[in-house]
Amino acid sequence: MTMTTETDRILVLKSNIATYTDLMQIQHPFNHHPEILKWNVDLDDCDHVIRIVSPTLTVADIEEIVKSNGYQCSELE
């Protein structure tokens, strides 16, 4: 299990990653990003929330990664 420390930031975004197939598309870039410690997408939620734990990345960085893989996301208020 990856430990999350106080200094790691948690980014929460809503997305259109709605199905298991969508999830398969996005898992490679997330799994292999050196600055992403932990991630998950809540497919059950109506906002298909992406949750990222990273010490350095910003919401804009995540938006960029998701967009370049054909999906949309934005910060969840």
Residues contributing to the site for other proteins (CB under 8 A): 10, 12, 40, 42, 44-47, 49, 51, 75-77
Q: How far is the CB of 4 from other proteins (least distance, A)?
A: 10
Spatial separation of the C-alpha atoms in residues 65 and 49, rounded to whole Å: 15
Spatial separation of the C-alpha atoms in residues 51 and 5, rounded to whole Å: 15
Tell me the sheet residues that pair with 9.
54
DSSP state of 41: E
Q: How far is the CB of 65 from other proteins (least distance, A)?
A: 18
Residue 49 vs 62, nearer CB to other proteins: 49
Q: How far is the CB of 71 from other proteins (least distance, A)?
A: 18
